[in-house]
Structure 1
């Protein structure tokens, strides 16, 4: 994606593509996987850089996730992400997953390397 200058925040609604079995562990596995999609690029937004631009390299250093209560990934969840720091080729982002009625079900944090080889 080509970059544009924007605040370091993003909110997206997500749910499973298909029916997830009635096993909370499967829901948690899938949400963990989904939590990494477009997470670090939020830290690039204030700099007007898109993560798919030529010469841009991003890589996760660490990624943690906490599950606060059961949820159903067959239903829509709001993923609210913000970056509180992006400097010296590193970005820090955190996110929260909410049910449609506003219950916090999971939290995420990630630090990554972001380099421009142009």
Structure 2
């Protein structure tokens, strides 16, 4: 996992209170990469595919909408990282690139609980001209497809000179 300094790199232009709230929100979710995370082998191109197990840190109420909202929040945390893998970039986790989501669509196929482990299977079939496409599926522990996700993003590497 990235060190505290790595986690804060790239956020120094934001007020400390904003950064603190952002990091606090991220810590409410337990994310565990199946393989090495995008920031693990910085500079080495890899297959544009990653898998992340996730769940909330704590039990949630039974309201299905709450679980949908939290899965929606998590779906935007790591999907565009898959675009960067083929280019050997470290990603947002280490402040290596600048990016923004252009489109983000989700299809909810069946009920699930965000406080139980869900597998987020992510890949990028296309990246060019500063834009990339991420597509993913979220599976329950029994292997049922719960959610499909598509996201297009703008991805820029800051000038290094």
1:30 aligns with 2:57: no
1:11 aligns with 2:57: no
- Matches of 2:77 and 2:110, distance apart in 1: 22
- Matches of 2:80 and 2:110, distance apart in 1: 25
Residues paired across the two proteins, number:
118
Greater percentage in strand: 1
Q: Which runs of 5+ in 2 are unaligned?
A: 1-38
Greater percentage in helix: 2
CA RMSD of aligned residues (A): 1.4
**Which structure carries more relative contact order (alpha carbon 8 Å, separation 6+)?**
1
Do the aligned residues in 2 keep the contact of 1:14 with 1:77 (CA within 8 Å)? yes
Give TM-score, length-normalised by structure 2: 0.69
**Secondary structure, aligned partner of 1:75:** coil
Give TM-score, length-normalised by structure 1: 0.93
Structure 2 equivalent of residue 59 of structure 1: 100
